[in-house]
Chains A and B, each alone.
Chain A
Amino acid sequence: MFTGLIRTVILYILIIAGIRLMGKRQVGELEPSELVLSLIIADLASVPMQDFGIPLLTGVVPILTLLSLTMILSVLTMKSVRFRAVLCGRPSIIIRNGQMDQREMARNRLTVDELLEELRSKGYTDPSMVKYAILETNGQLSVLPYANQKPPTARQLKVAVEEGGLPLVVVSDGQVLSHNLRALGRDRAWLEKRLQERGCKSLEEVFLMLVDESDAIYLARRAV
């Protein structure tokens, strides 16, 4: 039991550190090499976790090797466009000027049903509404509609809109996030005054408070 506990902690920390080193992209969008890495690491970690007859090193050494290789590959893909194309592939244009490129679809083993499903999920029911649909290297379909299919922007409508700025969390679950308050150029006294204005006697009453650069405030009280 003790061995299993310690091994799990060690392997978990090792994997978290490795994933963290690879950057945020690993979490959401997996390139082929990253997907392979994730699958292998999960298996490598689970075996010595369960089987105490195998030394921990037989799990740690391959994981460290894989993480090193991935780091080398990620640096090389950043430095070389050609290497990036080899390792990650190139984006494929599936729809061009409303026309489906059947050869590209076959090459990427993308069926019509899958393509239509992806288009529907992005709000397009008909390929003819789409100027370009590009299958990205991470498997996501980017859809660029014809200009006449896009919703008009405020600039196109010549409407003046107020710029809100980035809202920052100032109070989260009763805790003041001082660094965000400082980033907004405000202090505790300002915060307390704003809370009083909104009828909050103490911070404990606040579940979430967001403030943006134009001092617009969103306040959610804690449920009683």
Chain B
Amino acid sequence: MKRLWIAAGLLVMLLLASLGNAYYARELTGGMTDRLGEALTLAQAERWEEAEALTRQVYRDWERHHTYFHTTMRHSDTDQVLRAFRAVMEYLAIKEMDQYAAANADLVTQLELLAEMEQPSFVNVF
């Protein structure tokens, strides 16, 4: 019976860890996408420096959680987010609104999809 409890405990632990990971991924990327949205609003109001500072802050946040993303998500997906960040910051530097808006939307979508992949939903399971 001891083996049964160990195995059941391990399964429950894995389940809780996966649910915890889903929640954490959503919270983390949710905070990032919100701030990227704010940065877009700032850029639309021609406050480019503030928009760039906010985006850089989000990028640093992403870098700080690099180990987490790299160990739990597919590396191709995290690499794509990294590329999108770099593109957004380049367009911010040259203050090119149309290109920046498109790249920012792409980055937000990438981050949303990253968290979406981890969610315990029917669609994801099947």
Binding site for B on A (CB under 8 A): 21, 52-58, 61, 64-65, 67-69, 71-72, 74-76
Contacts and interface: CB of A to CB of B under 8 A. Distances in A.
A68 B75 contact: no
A64 B75 contact: no
Interface of B: 1, 3-4, 6-8, 10-11, 14, 18, 70-76
Contacts of B10: 64, 68
A55 B7 contact: no
B18 A61 contact: yes
Contacts of B74: 53-55, 58
17 contacts: A21-B3, A52-B75, A53-B76, A54-B74, A54-B75, A65-B11, A65-B14, A67-B7, A68-B11, A69-B7, A71-B3, A71-B4, A72-B4, A72-B8, A72-B11, A75-B3, A75-B7
Contacts of A64: 10, 14
Given A71-B7, A72-B7, A61 B14 contact: yes
Contacts of A67: 7
B26 to A, nearest CB: 18
Contact of B73 (A55, A56, A68, A75): A55
Contact of B72 (A57, A65, A75): A57
A75 B70 contact: no
A16 B76 CA distance: 30
A30 B71 CA distance: 34
Contacts of A58: 74
Contact of B11 (A54, A56, A69): A69
Contacts of A65: 11, 14
Nearest to A65: B14
A68 B15 CA distance: 12
Contacts of B75: 52-55
B72 A55 contact: yes
A71 B11 CA distance: 11
Nearest to B1: A75
Nearest to A73: B7
B6 A55 contact: no
A57 B7 CA distance: 18
Contacts of A74: 3
B45 to A, nearest CB: 40
A74 B1 CA distance: 11
B71 A75 contact: no
The winner among B7, B10, B18, B75 for most chain A CB atoms within 10 A is: B7
The winner among B4, B70, B76 for most chain A CB atoms within 10 A is: B4
The winner among A56, A69, A75 for most chain B CB atoms within 10 A is: A75
A53 B76 CA distance: 6
Contacts of A53: 74-76
Contacts of B1: 75
B103 to A, nearest CB: 24
Contact of A57 (B3, B8, B11, B71): B71
